Structure 1
Amino acid sequence: MIPRILIVNDNSDPRSRGLAHSLRRRGAVAVTAPLAAIAFDTDRPDGLAIPGFEQELPDAVLVRSIAAGSFEAVTRRLGVLHALGRLSVPVWNSAQAIERCVDKSMTTFLLENAGLPTPPTFTVEGRAAAEEIATRELARTPLVLKPLFGAQGRGIRMIHSLADLPAPEEVSGVYYLQHYVARAGPPFRDFRIFVCAGKAVAMMGRRGADWITNINRGAVPEEVLGHDERELAALAVAATAVVGADFAGVDIIAAADGRLLVLEVNSMPAWSGLQSVATVNIADAIAEALLKFLADRAEAPAARPYRFASPANS
């Protein structure tokens, strides 16, 4: 049978088009639609109305992006992904993995709980609690404040004193504070590793004049130099597994003493900068891994359905 894949994205960006092209070249049907266009509909046999899948559910879903919106809208969109998982449709990445990665405090908790190296981090509500943390920790190191749900380096700032802490309304009342990792620079460097289906398929260094080394802030992608690629790959694969993601972009930084620390795990990563230095076509890698997963799944013995046995019949 021809696999039918739904690519969830809010606009037809080059990466989504590349994914669709890679899937189609391998014999799959690929349809792109935003989560906002998928409706809960209890008149449908499966309870969902999905553009391009009027009669049957997709065989798998690839989540490229989820648009910002009200709390209610985002909750409903994640609910759609939860529902697809409930219907046994493979979702890369699952709603749970996305929730874990979008919330930086949960990502950090899971990394630390699993014993993976990550900077000391504190997430509190209210200015008073943030000042208490800062008063204690600033005696040891500057702090980095990040938006809990931010991406691409937006909203990150260095905290050297209590006066640097923003007002509660600027951070929705939540302060995510992390030890600053001292390193050589400028130029400053860190790493992005792309993991898919349990393998590190590509990696890059990011070099920038600013200590925030995101590509969209002017950092330059480059080949990984002077570090053990196997160590970076192993750390990134482990971090991806901890959050339960099928594919992810993992940000790793090297401290001045050479220690590698995981900063973030992105469950909806971009890869245009990474692709410019990677030898592997990343869209092809995702398409191949997903279609192999579906083929292996089709060959596996079907699980026996659960049947309730009343005490009287047991």
Structure 2
Amino acid sequence: MSVRVAIMTDETGWHTGRLKKAFRARDVEARNVDLADCRIDTTWKPHGLAIPGFGHTLPDAVFVRGIAGGTFEQVTLRLGILHALRESGVPVYNDARAIERSVDKSMTSFLLNRYGVPTPATWASESPAHAQRVLMREAAAGRQVVMKPLFGSQGKGLKKPGVTLPSLSAFSQVAYLQRYVDAGTPGFDWRVLVIGGKALAAMKRVGGEDWIHNFARGAKCEPAELTPALAEIAVRATEALGLDYAGVDLIPSEDGRPVVLEVNGVAAWRGLQSVTPLDIAALLVDDFLDRKLAASKGTLALASGDERV
């Protein structure tokens, strides 16, 4: 029987098309599944999990390509499905715990700092008074601060508030503040792709809307040398969050050394693919099958052997 994989995604398009092509090249049956259509059902024997397209069985492995936004309860249930799959012995790439760490910018910053990965000074709290003090203190030192939604991507909702704190209502009552790093004019940052503990490709994102260097916000993607410094820091950032693969966003600090701004656990790669000859989808699928799934099968074999002893 061939390997059956669920690609968890809330939309189909370029990325899922590339992944399915790469899976077909490895003789693997891959099916798109929306987490919103999955359910926990304790009457659904034998696993208590219903995954569309797999009947009463479970996929051999799961590749997480996208998780739709929703209410807190909806997102919690969708992540719960991923947790349940892992608890059922299904390898998940990236798994729910790692995604939770990368989606929550405050936890990302905490873990990067804890594991010594260079990253700008960051503050996260529910206290407007504390956030206002941070703004005033940073301004007095001649520095600027970026205010970001705790959950968000593609540069949406970012502000440089100056010395007056905006209403937290637009930020779900949470102040996430990060010291601004000026990358010059035109500004740029790096995106480094890490797969299976190895940095494989890098690009520059130049320009964009004002100081926000996102491909989705008009930044131009350019090839970039994957220097040892970029590779080393990107890999350490990915390891700190426990990710199988990640898109790591870095920016040069005042002394020129790269610092990590964000780590993307459900990373898009269309912009990067446009400036590298590497087949990114194939690299992801190879690591997924040859490392993640193979390791899972080895663990199951050992467990079965232990039971027979």
Check whether TM > 0.5.
yes
Please classify the TM superposition score into its range, dividing by the shorter chain length.
over 0.9
Residue in 1 that maps onto 2:5: 5
Distance 1:172 1:220 in 2: 31
Pairs within 5 Å for 1:231-242? 231-242=229-240
**CA deviation after TM superposition for structure 1 residue 137, in Å:** 2.0
Give deviations 1:53-77, integer Å, cap 9, x for gaps. Answer: 1132111101111111111111111
Deviates more, 1:213-222 or 1:229-238: 229-238
The question of whether the paired residues in 2 share the 8 Å contact of 1:201 and 1:282 is answered with: no
Q: Report the equivalent of 1:20.
A: 20
- Please give the per-residue CA displacement for 1:200-219, whole angstroms capped at 9, x wherever unaligned: 12210111052110011111
SS of equivalent to 1:234: helix
Residues 1:102 and 1:303: Cα distance change in structure 2 (over 3 Å)? same
Matches within 5 A, 1:244-255: 244-255=242-253
Q: Check 1:153–1:287 CA distance in 2 against 1; reply closer, same or farther (3 A cut).
A: same
Describe the superposition over 1:73-117 as per-residue Cα deviations: whole angstroms up to 9, x where unpaired. 111111101101111111111111111011000000000000110
Structure 1 residue 256: deviation in Å? 3.0
Match of 1:56 in 2: 57
How many angstroms does 1:125 deviate by? 0.7
In structure 2, what residue type is equivalent to 1:96?
R
Counting aligned pairs with the same residue, the percent is 47
TM-score normalised by the chain length of structure 1: 0.92
Amino acid across the alignment from 1:199:
K
Q: After the TM superposition, which residues 207-222 of structure 1 pair with which residues of structure 2 at under 5 Å, given as runs?
A: 207-208=206-207, 210-222=210-222
Matched residue of 1:153: which SS?
coil
Tell me the SS of whatever aligns to 2:229: helix
Aligned mates of 1:176, 1:306 — CA distance in 2: 48
Alpha carbons 1:143, 1:158 under 8 Å: kept: yes
2:126 equivalent to 1:128: no
Question: Residues of 1 paired with 2:27 and 2:195: CA distance?
Answer: 20
Contact 2:132 2:163 in 1 (8 A): no
Q: Are 2:159 and 1:157 aligned?
A: yes
Contiguous gaps of at least 5 residues in structure 2: none
The TM-score with structure 2 as length reference comes to 0.94
Q: Aligned to 1:286, which of 284, 287, 292?
A: 284
Matches of 2:255 and 2:182, distance apart in 1: 9
In structure 2, relative to structure 1, the CA distance for the partners of 1:167 and 1:22 (3 Å cut) is: same
**Once the 2 structures are TM-superposed, how far is the Cα of residue 295 of structure 1 from its aligned partner?**
3.2
Q: Which letter does structure 1 place at the counterpart of 2:150?
A: L
Specify the code of the residue in structure 2 equivalent to 1:282: I
Check conservation: 1:201, 1:285, Cα contact below 8 A. Answer: no
Quote the Cα distance in structure 2 between the aligned partners of 1:181 and 1:112. 17
Partner of 1:311: none
Q: 2:190 — aligned with what? A: 191
In structure 2, C-alpha distance between the alignment counterparts of 1:244 and 1:138, rounded to whole Å:
35
Listed as ranges, the gaps of 5+ residues in structure 1 are: 308-314
Q: Distance in 2 between matches of 1:222 and 1:195?
A: 18
Measure, in 2, the Cα distance between the counterparts of 1:38 and 1:306: 33
The corresponding residue for 2:271 is 273
CA contact (8 A) 2:183 2:189 kept: no
Measured after TM superposition, the shift of residue 304 of structure 1 is 6.0
Distance in 2, Cα, partners of 1:298 & 1:87: 13
**8 A Cα contact 2:50 2:56, kept in partner:** no
